[in-house]
Structure 1
Amino acid sequence: MNRMIVGLGEALWDCLPEGRKLGGAPANFAFHAAQFGFDAVAVSAVGLDALGDETLKEFDKKGLEYIMPRVDYPTGTVAVELDEEGIPTYDIKQGVAWDNIPFTTDVEMVAQECRAVCFGSLAQRNEVSRNTIYRFLDATPDDCLKIFDINLRQNFYTKDIIKESLKRCDVLKINDEELVTIGRMFGYPGLDIENKCWLILGKYNLKMLVLTCGTNGSYVFTHGDLSFQETPKVNVADTVGAGDSFTGAFTAAILSGMSVKKAHELAVKVSAYVCTQNGAMPKLPEEFTSEIKK
């Protein structure tokens, strides 16, 4: 059985107070999915620069497979500032390599062998990468699980991009703040959180909707059922990449045949652990990775 999981979109460096760390939601997602025994691939682009060289070396060091065409734009960086609770704010540089991901033969071959792909809104801010993402999704097998981790950042999204992505995905992952934004954008701000989620699930015929609410827990909506998990109390180092680790663990668990409730439990434990570590790609303890039968 093919076990390939793909993170598709931005590859960049988070410039944190304590130094520079490799990040980008798709790479974070693929890194964590790989820790559960899947063949995970990060698909993006890097520049023809020293930081591009460093990016590929770092992926090699972490053992993460990647398809990263070199393009004539600078490798992406993000200035990250953390508040007193470790919550990040981002200054995402524009006109960078991951804005210009080409749809190459290698990218198409990965799409054709893909069991699950996670993509977001950020890498769709430029037409080149947006078209590559849509072509990738169109090239996947019919049973490929398409996860839209909406990941709203700054002003790098539009109603049309959100709507098109919702039409193309099976699973929406969204946080409570993003849900408020989407509610206003789509004209149903008066509904409570749960009713907004049920409405989106039905309107776009999604298989699942995952809602994370920070310290207030998380929900997984499926047709006719709802899973809720409280957020564990931990000593937070930073929350960078925690959501991506949640999505990676949840996707790996679902593809392994785990129930939604059990997959949700595992994802919550993994993301809580990542919050206790610096950076987006810590190695997970075996007590978590061993929960999925390889």
Structure 2
Amino acid sequence: MKRYIVGLGEALWDVLPEGKKLGGAPANFAYHAGQFGLNTIAISALGEDALAEETIEALKEHNLNYLMPQVPYPTGTVQVTLTGDGIPTYDIKENVAWDNIPFTDEMEEIAKNARAVCFGSLAQRNVVSRENIRKFLDATPEDCIKICDINLRQQFYTKEILEDSFCICNILKINDEELVVVNRMFGYDGLDMRGTCEKIVQDYQLKMLVLTCGTNGSYVFTDDGLTSFQDTPKVEVADTVGAGDSFTGSFCASIINGKPVQEAHKIAVRVSAFVCTQNGAMPVIPEELKK
């Protein structure tokens, strides 16, 4: 069986001012990692409704492999409002299909053959999905890269969820605003940004911590003391929906394809900047970026 790069968690539609677009971090991550030639799959759950059929059609249009059992809850949606700077705010509907992801035999087989898995905190807001995401991660091989891309939306996170996720993953991705919340929640007061990142790497025995700071650049801190910094390119922003997921997907793909951390970081920054110039989360990446 082929080894998979897995996006695991919420499947939903971003309802944007110009219309709805398929979203959710797992599909976005899998789509962008797949553009670098990897065998990717998005795992979640869909409802038994018309929107589920639209989801399946959209996944097929993007040539994206998926495993999304249908459950008796509505397919997820998010109302997205953009500021004048193109920064999104979200109203994430509750009690939806991705809150109730099952753990099937087929999922377990994929987990046993996973090369990398990206998961987040948002999909763990409900106990059903949280427990089954843990079962999936527990079934992965020793060499599996487990990326936690935390996603602190609305009230949908707790210290327990974050701490458990930090313990399970070996790469943590976080942005500067989320780092402030974690710093306060975990009692890292008195540490600066670098100190907090290095403390998290040490405390949770991570291989890497990726910190994105919007227009102020991004960092990768590794367990062997390496720090990589990249400026954020100045581009004309259409919207930033999915930009972070494109960063994670291209960074993961580059690491798996054997790139050094600094080069993987540079690729991720360039891909993310390009996605910001496009509407929606899943544009086709130009060939020169993939090369």
Q: TM-score, normalised by structure 2?
A: 0.99
CA distance in 1: counterparts of 2:218 and 2:76, whole angstroms: 30
Whether 2:195 is the aligned partner of 1:190: answer: no
Paired residues for 1:165-244 under 5 Å: 165-222=165-222, 223-244=224-245
Aligned-pair distance for 1:189? 2.5
Please tell me the residue identity of whatever aligns with 2:198. Answer: W
Alignment correspondent of 1:275: 276
Q: Which residue of 2 aligns with 1:151?
A: 151
| CA deviation profile, 1:100-133 (whole Å, cap 9, x unmatched) | 0000011111101100000000000001100110
In structure 1, the gaps of 5 or more residues are none
Output the amino acid matched with 2:50.
A
Matching residue of 1:102:
102
d(CA) in 2 for partners of 1:10 and 1:190? 35
**1:88-167 alignment, distance < 5 Å:** 88-167=88-167
Structure 2's unaligned 5+ residue stretches are none
Query: What amino acid is the match of 1:99?
Result: D
| Residue 70 of structure 1: aligned partner | 70
Q: How many residues align?
A: 290
Say whether residues 1:257 and 2:254 are aligned partners.
no
Query: CA offsets, 1:86-111, max 9 Å, x none?
Result: 00000000000000000001111110
> Over residues 213-259 of structure 1, what are the superposed CA-to-partner deviations in whole Å (9 max), with x where a residue is unaligned?
00000000012110000000000000000000000000000011100
Q: CA RMSD in A?
A: 0.9
What amino acid is aligned across from residue 6 of structure 2 in structure 1?
V
One-letter code aligned to 2:168: R
Residue identity matched to 1:130: R
The structural deviation recorded for 1:273 is: 0.1
TM superposition shift of 1:188: 1.3
Stretch moving more, 68-77 or 186-195:
186-195
Structure 2 residue identity aligned to 1:243:
G
